[in-house]
Amino acid sequence: MKRRWGQSLRTRLALYAAVIMLLLNIVVSGFVLWGVRSQVATIHGHEMSSQVLRVLFMIQRDRLPRALPSYGLDGIQVIGPAGSPVAWTPNLAGLPRQTGTILQRNQASDMVPEVCDLPAFPDGCKTVVALTAFQPDGEYRILAYDPAVPWYVSPQLLLFQTCITTLLVALTWLGVSRIVARTLAPVSSITGRLADITTSCGDGMRLPVPEHDDEIRALAETGNRTLERLENARRQQEVAMERQRRFATDASHDLRSPITAMRTQVEDALLHPQDADWPEAGRQVLASLDRLQAIVADLLTLTKLDAGAPAERAPVDLGELVATETARNRTKRVVTSVQPGVVIEGDQLQLVRLLTNLLDNAERHAETQILVTVRQQDGEAIVEVLDDGAGIAPEQREVVFQRFTRLDASRNRDAGGTGLGLPIAREIATAHGGSLAIENSDVGARFVLRLPALKER
């Protein structure tokens, strides 16, 4: 969960939330300070006005002394009708009026929130309260000065707001950190499980799925589906690799057998060339060459079928095809039962190869006869090849379709086959959108070919 700056996602989110809370508190505190300061300044101005009213009463009673008491204020000046001070507190004695702003206002009373850098108070800002007394000889202005309310109002208020802000930021940090930690706990579990899966190859292992129906649960479920697909793909790859290894081993063995036989025959003849029957040796070598050629031809056919080589498709009458192939001379009697008009679309050469392989296989293992049936049922063209031999055990019925398969002596391919005829037949059936399987029968082996039949036009 590490990211840039070496910080975890939990720390970064908590930091972002705390910063946002801090900025929010600064803004809110600023508005609060502004409001409180305005209220305090107004109250302070009213308090100053109440003190200055005493001077106003003195003017109205014509008892204004030149020296005024301060009444707890920083200073008071009374500006006469001529515009110059006529009374003042001791600290402002002999000084000119401190501000002309107030005197320019035509109001009975006025309050200036802050006036800074006054001649008598050069080091700060003062709150100035002005009252006007109307007398027969003119207007008298009373100016009172007192320290302005600071921006923070008071240290206690500033400390209080600082403490509140600190507390809220801390609670935000802890709360967000805890919530993110609980939210990301399933992610940590998923990360740990993925690490275990990577280490142990992950056979059968799945990611933990959280209880809550949220995005993390969807992530875990998607990850489990991905792991399942990867596991299935890996198993299929292992099976395919095992089949390829077995195929390579069996192919090398079957190719080596006729080559070894030819070498042995030639070496025997060369050891005693005067006594060797060279015509017979030649016939034996030709027989081995025929077997070698048959194996190579079958391997090339399987390679083309595996590569999905394009085939020429055309309507093929299975009845006519069966009649042509069964008319050839065979060592076993062939009986046919053909329903006319069973037509499919396919490659005639491949279909001939399929039927020939089934008939050759049946001929090798039949006792006396082979029964071939052609019919159409439920939109399928069905071809059955049944021999009266020893049959195939149910557990071996799929094995015979594997390449270079060896069964017991009763159906051993060494009786004349290459071990590739039935696999080629099934590949051709599959390429035509059909199937080839061994089904139950009372006697012998019953091969059933099913292909999509063409609809009657």
Name the DSSP class of 2.
B
**pLDDT tens per residue, range 10-44:** 888 899 999 999 999 999 999 999 999 888 888 98
The pLDDT of residue 31? 92
The pLDDT value given to residue 12: 87
Q: List, in order, residues 6 or more apart from 156 with CB less than 8 Å away.
A: none
Q: Is 298 a residue whose pLDDT tops 80? A: no
Longest C-alpha distance within the chain, in Å?
Answer: 170
What integer is the mean pLDDT of 361-389? 91
Mean pLDDT of the chain: 82
What confidence score (pLDDT) does residue 437 get?
A: 93
- The predicted model scores a pTM of 0.47
pLDDT of residue 105: 41
SS3 label, residue 406: coil
**pLDDT, position 26:** 94
pLDDT of residue 387: 93
Across 284-348, the runs of DSSP E, i.e. the strands, are 314-317, 333-338, 343-346
Q: What is the pLDDT of residues 247-293, one digit of tens each?
A: 666 667 667 767 887 888 788 888 878 777 888 878 888 877 877 77
Asked whether this chain's domains 206-309 and 314-452 adopt the same fold, the reply is no
| Type of residue numbered 209 | V
What CATH architecture is 314-452?
2-Layer Sandwich (3.30)
Residue with tokens 């206690």: 156
Q: What is the DSSP letter of 8?
A: B
Name the most confidently modeled range: 154-158, 221-225, 292-296: 154-158
Which CATH code fits 206-309? 1.10.287.130
The answer, yes or no, to whether residue 385 has pLDDT greater than 70, is yes
Inter-CA distances, 388 with 363, 394, 408, Å:
10, 16, 17
pLDDT tier at 152, thresholds 50, 70, 90: confident
Q: How confident is the model at residue 6 (pLDDT cuts 50, 70, 90)?
A: very low
Handedness of CA 118, 123, 124, 128 (dihedral sign): negative
The domain locations on the chain are 11-156, 206-309, 314-452
Q: E strand or H helix at 243, and its extent? A: helix 215-271
- Which structure tokens are listed for 185? 């706990």
129 and 52 in contact (C-beta within 8 Å)? Answer: yes
- Asked if pLDDT for residue 65 goes beyond 70, the answer is yes
| Residue 319: partners with Cβ closer than 8 Å, 6 or more residues away | 338, 339, 340, 341, 342, 374
pLDDT at 199: 60
Tokens, residue 52: 């200055």
83-124 confidence digits (pLDDT tens): 899 999 999 998 988 887 654 443 444 445 578 888 888 888
Is pLDDT at 414 greater than 70 in this prediction?
no
138-147 vs 75-79, strand pairing mode: antiparallel
